A and B are shown apart, each in its own frame.
Chain A
Amino acid sequence: MEDFLVRERVRAKTYELLAQCYKLPLTFKDDNTIEVLHKLLSLVNEEAAIYAKEMKDALDNYSNLDEMKFDFLALFVGPKTLLAPPYGSVYMEEQGQIMGVSTYDAMRIYNEAGLKKSEDFKEPPDHVRVELEFMSTLIQQTIESCEKSEPQESVHKIELQLEFLSKHLAGWVKPFTNNIISNAKTTFYRSLAKATESFIRQEFLEDSIAMKEEFNELNKLTDNIN
């Protein structure tokens, strides 16, 4: 079980760091977010790790982050049309509007995990940062329930992880990151998009499923011992 939890901590931290990459102000020069992200991705996803390395190199090449800031604004904030709207509903719904049925579904799943978007964060609840951070928190909750030996709770949180990945993040990460890749002016954000896409793709197709199976195996073992 301890090995399982270590792996989960890596997943939780990776989601958290990816979420940090989609925010302002840009503090990457003063913290080690990108370096740690690179190290973690190197452990779980070779492809994504290459992109994280590109992010790190790009960062090292900038003397200040103004170019990155304006790139970030054009992609995700405005005031003009967002080149890569960071909202799930824009990709998942016909009208391309925000606050749609899919947004509400994300809110429902947050609530199942006892969470909601913070009132201080004045963006729709299916903003990429919220969804990534939600995954991180959900994994963290899974870890805690394992630590407290609450298998039912763990199963619930694992199911929520899989549901959220399949219905939300994995559902729109591709067109979203494609928008970034086509429109970003900086290597940093192009590589961030590639890293995000690669990480979520592997999470959705392999790692989350493997995680569930590992948990089930472990749980079976525990049951047998008892």
Chain B
Amino acid sequence: MKLSRRGFLKVSAVAGITAFLLSGCKKDSEVLETSKPGEIQPLVQGEWKPSGCLGCTSACAKQVYIVDGRAIKIRANDESKVHGGNSCPRAHLAVQQVYDADRIKQPMKRTNPKKGINEDPGFVPISWDEAMDTFAEKVLELRANDESHKFILFRGRYTNINDIFYSSLPKIIGSPNNISHSSICAEAEKFGPYYTQGYWNYRDYDVQNTKYMICWGVDPLCSNRQVSHYLNVFGDLLKKGVKIATIDPKYSSTAAKSQVWMPVIPGQDGALATAMAHVILAEGLWSREFVGEFTDGNNAFIKGKNVKEETFEEIHTHGVVKWWNLELKDRTPEWAAPICGIDADTIRTVAIEFAKAAPHSIVFMGGGSNMQVRGAYNSMAVHALNGLVGSIDHEGGVLQGRSPKLLEMPKPDEYMDEMAKTNSKKKKMDQRGTKEFPALKDGKSGGGVVTNRVADAILSEDPYLPKVAIGYFVNLNYSCPETERWNKALSKLEFFAHCVTHYSEMSHFADLLLPSTHHMFEQMTSSAQKANSYTHLWMTQRLIDPVFDVKNPETEVAWMLAEKLAEKGFANLLDFYKTELKDPETGAEPTTGLELELYAYKYLTKSIWDSATYDEMKNNGDMFNNWQEFVDKGVWNSSSYKFKALWSEMKTETKKFEFYSETLKKALTEHAEKHSTNVDDILKTCKYTVKGELAFVPHYEVPYVEGKVEQYPFAFIDSKSRLAREGRSANCSWFQEFKDSDPGDIKWGDCIKMNPKDASKLGLQDGDLVKVTSPTGELTTTLKLWEGVRPATVQKNYGQGHWAMGHVAAADFDKKIARGGNNNDIIPADFERLSGSTAYYGSFRVRIEKA
């Protein structure tokens, strides 16, 4: 008998312990409850459930394999006509994000009132009730002092129903400040398409039917856009003999799969684009069907010669002759070659082959060519090549997509009291629409957001100092250039609540941490996107129980705040939700945040799952018989694309594709008049060099580059990482383990890449630790020698350099030591001001020294 050890506990000794302790009447368990027999079985086959990915704006439809309430793995939802059964690699990291022990687990409040990067916030757990009570008090304090406009809502990644939070909540409280992240995402890229064809959005490309594709400042095999689709289709394209040319200063993933790589000198895209346009016209290769023809049939686009406008009869375009005369006639490949770094023969060959394949040809434009200080006209010039060859809205060309017609979310106007009406008209915190920041989205002065300007505006208190802010899925002091300004600006905010899954850089300055659900598994989510000449809209149910005490900001947090405000006497927000967002099937008012979430999605998509509404709105694509049928399938597909429907029906001033942009002329003139000045002055204020009529055509601008070549010899190339989920996946071990899937990068680390010839001149070696200094900042990282960048340039991916986010993302999370460097620590905070876009590319130089 082995009772010796056990015998140690002599029963007689127990006498000293009170009967109470050992009575067996154990108090009720605090962390366990009864379950039904057989509720949990040995691991069995799970079920694939529809979901979607918001790891980038590709917004792919996915399925998640759920086994007994746990998410196991991810694949594409092959019901989507956008990407079929193909999935990009970054989606898989979402499982590591949701099941990360580093997540924020419950609401927490700051106990150290001092804010700063070196202050310990002293976060302690609180209940959701206390958190929302505090937040509501802060909002009501603003309202009590007639300062409701000093409230800001920062929006990062969001879903289709975000209006009920992002748009309506600030308005009902009485603030103009709903600040989106859009201008650190794109905007300059949308400028060109808008001011030529009246479309402020990403385009789609009919690659299945194309014969020639130019990928310009975009890397669709790596990052946005539509990676799932392009990773699949590229193989077919190459097999079919489709020619692909990639214009990118770095040897990108896409360049590696292209027949031609044109490593344009950073910022000089305008020279290359105008030279290609020159060739297309001079060689007589423009589209007769789309653009038109000389009345006598003879090509008068002769180098250096003006053309009489009346000799050319335009059909679906406007101003081709003006463009030639004002800009293109001297823009020969020989002129462009020394400027853009691509030899004249290559420029000519690519332009000719592209135009000869037209209209089944594509210039696929990303942000690289235009998110530059003087990038707006590059955006127009690059996109206008599609106009010249008639591939706009043509089979095998550049499309706009067929969005689902969704119900517009209810407007909050009736729930805005006098103060809300007055104060929500006050100036927005991002200075949009000021003389210096036209942000001409959709043709309106101040129509778009200038996200990164908000930090300066807070610091200079211009137009005023905001006091209370909430941000969700946003991390501005990591993702915006000149991060230090944001650290200071956030320190100045009296009160900031951060809705986020992980303790990120911005959380460090928060007063409240409001832990968020993961959009892919723990909340309902929906988003729409286009590719492959289709548009899809996917819908996610709540697939797993939230792992921690986390809530959906757009619905649950909004609802709890509404309830707290109502409790304290301000019921407008709650009334709005209850009255306007009833269940479309039963008419029931929402009574919880979860019901608000469900009803809002049902409401938004009613035109898809309710036949009467579908017919009423003349919708296209799939029609479902009821809500359940829609959510079970989880994805709606549009009808096939109607080509050429936009020809002479564009949303421009002339309804034509404008090479001479009457639309831009109108927008710039209105903006100038608003500020009692002229267009030349506005452009000068916005750092452009152009004067007169040239301002209304795509033209070459000498790039505005921060840092003189003598002090800063290397042009810096910023690019995105294959596995980055918008800067949020660095705490996933897979991100680190597969970091070398970015060509030239290293696992579990960070590097800057330099041409070996330059390194040799500087006496630097592969693996050296180097200090990278720009005119506005510095960082330390590892040097890699790489032939994939041309001499005098260096390239570094964005995505590392987190000093927060978790113990994998940061080298030492506790001591705030980053793993590698964050590009935004050295990128100067500058803008393409006409669109409001932040300038990430072709806009600054650095020097490299051994650290």
Contact = CB atoms under 8 A, between A and B. Distances in A.
B125 A13 contact: no
A24 B101 contact: no
Contacts of B33: 115-119
Interface in B781-839: 804, 806-807, 813-814
B16 A39 contact: yes
Interface stretch (B37-45, B260-268, B313-321, B616-624): B37-45
Given A77-B125, A111-B40, A118-B32, A99 B70 contact: yes
Interface string B23-42: 11010011111110111111
Interface stretch (A1-9, A151-159, A168-176, A193-201): A1-9
A10 B22 contact: yes
Contacts of B733: 95-96
A137 B124 CA distance: 30
B108 interface: yes
A111 B35 CA distance: 6
Given A70-B122, A73-B123, A96-B101, A210 B35 contact: no
- By DSSP majority rule, is chain B's interface helix, strand, loop, or mixed? loop
B63 to A, nearest CB: 19
B21 interface: yes
B407 to A, nearest CB: 34
A115 B106 contact: no
Size class of the B contact interface (CB-based, 8 Å): 35 or more
Nearest to B733: A95
Nearest to B507: A79
B26 A16 contact: yes
A216 B343 CA distance: 89
B548 interface: yes
Contacts of B22: 6, 9-10, 13
Interface string A59-89: 0000000000110010001111111010100
B377 to A, nearest CB: 45
B30 A121 contact: yes
A53 interface: no
B125 A137 contact: no
A63 B86 CA distance: 61
A81 B6 contact: no
A98 interface: yes
Given A10-B22, A79-B104, A210-B2, A130 B16 contact: no
Nearest to B42: A108
Contact of A97 (B6, B100, B814): B100
A124 B733 CA distance: 20
Q: Looking at A24, A43, A119, A143, which has the most chain B CB atoms within 10 Å of its CB?
A: A43
B32 A44 contact: no
B645 interface: no
Contacts of A111: 35, 37-40
A167 B136 CA distance: 47
B39 A116 contact: yes
A217 interface: yes
B812 to A, nearest CB: 9
B13 interface: yes
Interface of A: 2-3, 6-7, 9-10, 12-13, 16, 19, 23-24, 36, 39-40, 43-44, 69-70, 73, 77-83, 85, 87, 90, 95-101, 103-104, 107-108, 110-111, 114-119, 121-124, 127, 129-130, 133-134, 136-137, 140, 143-144, 202, 206-207, 209-211, 213-214, 217
Given A78-B104, A123-B105, A133-B30, 9 more contacts: A13-B22, A36-B21, A82-B101, A85-B101, A97-B95, A104-B70, A107-B68, A108-B40, A111-B38
19 contacts: A39-B17, A73-B123, A73-B124, A77-B106, A77-B125, A78-B123, A82-B101, A90-B101, A97-B99, A99-B70, A99-B99, A101-B43, A111-B39, A114-B34, A116-B35, A118-B29, A133-B31, A206-B6, A210-B2
